[in-house]
Amino acid sequence: MGTSVAPRVESLASSGIQSIPKEYIRPQEELASIGNVFEEEKKEEGPQVPTIDLKEIDSDDKEAHERCRLELKKAATEWGVMHLVNHGISDDLMDRVRKAGQKFFELPIEEKEKYANDQGSGKIQGYGSKLANNASGQLEWEDYFFHLVFPEDKRDLSIWPKTPNDYTEVTSEYARQLRGLASKILSALSLCLGLEEGRLEKEVGGLEELLLQMKINYYPKCPQPELALGVEAHTDVSALTFILHNMVPGLQLFYQGNWVTAKCVPNSIIVHIGDTIEILSNGKFKSILHRGLVNKEKVRISWAVFCEPPKDKIILKPLPETLSETEPPLFPPRTFAQHIEHKLFRKTQDDLSN
């Protein structure tokens, strides 16, 4: 192991420390908005992340189908994030995915280290913790496991966890079904923009090229949750991101100037509109700023699957149909790789100017 490996957050958390190292303490201006996530989740007043029932999305009943699409459009336009229910993926499969990931993280750290990634050499798949990649040297209170899960011919199964022994089977099946769900959402969003049904799917790479990358986020209990974040505020670069979690709250969305805590909706999958779709739709669909809180009492685990276009093969820019005299393009043409660079560069600049 090289010297660049950050200590695993899990090791810190289980070492009995009462106060967290300074690298994990958020800047002063952020701290004012970090509250107790369990209290936050209980709040009934104020805006709530929409829940979309997909039961009618394929319905022959034109009215029901249209109603479902309009709700999806409203959520994508106003929020860019929603809980999906009746999404077609069985509770049983979701439970098995959660159990498999949890079992991996319950392994001793030495076992997990066999799967360690090496970000310095560009080996990003595997077990890891965030390295300080910005000027402020800030770290997040999480460990993770990251790997490409679809298309199947692009996977590297040699780095997938061998324990538990059904990990590959359940994760593969979930990825396959999620890919179908991604198509369904992309079709509906295409129609919402007045495009042909398959258009957005084609624009993000189609079945051959759209990559599904899974990141299992493991947020250990934190002795000072009011000072840390599991993941700092960001928007996703993906086309869509799908999230499963272990029913411990933590996701917050920046909506109309305030941080709103997402409720835990049983058997739902959360979907985020990512930057890629925001760009293609010329800002009609939102890629919302979000972050993750941690807590003292419960480990939180989430399974995020990022649906990403190929890095260099496609130029992302607002589709001509989304433009008009009064709606000029809001985004310059860039490849996905250039978009990521642009965001990292801008972030580094922001850090330097703070």
Whether 13 is in a domain gets the answer no
Q: Annotated catalytic residue: which of 87, 112, 147, 215?
A: 215
Cite the DSSP H helix spans in 268-335. Answer: 275-280
Q: Which CATH number belongs to the domain containing residue 253 in this structure?
A: 2.60.120.330
Whether 295 is in a domain gets the answer yes
The pLDDT of residue 152: 97
The torsion defined by the Cα of 270, 274, 278 and 281, in degrees rounded to 10, comes to: -70
How far apart, in whole angstroms, are the C-alpha atoms of residue 217 and residue 270? 15
DSSP for 138-174, please give it: ---S-EEEEEEEESGGG--GGGS--SSTTHHHHHHHH
What is the number of domains present in the chain?
1
Whether 277 is in a domain gets the answer yes
Q: Annotated catalytic residue: which of 112, 236, 245, 275?
A: 236
The pLDDT of residue 156: 97
Whether 177 is in a domain gets the answer yes
Whether 66 is in a domain gets the answer yes
Whether 8 is in a domain gets the answer no
The pLDDT of residue 2: 40
Whether 14 is in a domain gets the answer no
Whether 67 is in a domain gets the answer yes
DSSP for 228-267, please give it: --SEEEE---SSEEEEEE-S---EEEEETTEEEEPP--TT
How many residues comprise the chain? 354
How far apart, in whole angstroms, are the C-alpha atoms of residue 190 and residue 280? 10
The pLDDT of residue 59: 85
The pLDDT of residue 345: 79
**CB-count burial class (<10 Å; 0-12, 13-18, 19+) for 108:** exposed
Q: Annotated catalytic residue: which of 74, 234, 298, 347?
A: 234
Q: 247-266 in b/e burial notation, b at 16+ Cβ within 10 A?
A: ebbbbbbebeeebbbbbeee
Q: Rounded to whole angstroms, what are the CA distances from 295 to 40, 93, 135, 222? A: 12, 27, 26, 6
Q: Annotated catalytic residue: which of 83, 147, 245, 290?
A: 290
Contact 227, 20 (CB under 8 A): yes
Long-range contacts of 60-69 (CB under 8 A, 24+ apart): 68/188, 69/188, 69/191, 69/192
Domain ranges, residue 204: 23-353
Is-catalytic flag, 215? Answer: yes
The pLDDT of residue 130: 85
The pLDDT of residue 122: 87
The pLDDT of residue 133: 59
**Residue pLDDT tens, the chain, 354 long:** 343 445 799 999 999 999 999 999 999 999 999 999 999 999 999 999 999 999 999 888 999 989 999 999 999 999 999 999 999 999 999 999 999 999 999 999 999 999 999 988 889 999 999 876 555 678 999 999 999 999 999 999 999 999 999 999 999 999 999 999 999 999 999 999 999 999 999 999 999 999 999 999 999 999 999 999 999 999 999 999 999 999 999 999 999 999 999 999 999 999 999 999 999 999 999 999 999 999 999 999 999 999 999 999 999 999 999 999 999 999 999 999 999 999 987 766 665 554
How far apart, in whole angstroms, are the C-alpha atoms of residue 192 and residue 155? 33
The pLDDT of residue 4: 43
Around Cβ 126, how many Cβ atoms within 10 Å? 21
Contact 277, 189 (CB under 8 A): yes
Cite the DSSP H helix spans in the chain. Answer: 9-14, 28-31, 37-42, 62-78, 91-106, 109-113, 167-192, 199-203, 206-209, 275-280, 336-353
The torsion defined by the Cα of 266, 269, 270 and 276, in degrees rounded to 10, comes to: 180
Phi, psi of 214 (to 5 degrees): -100, 135
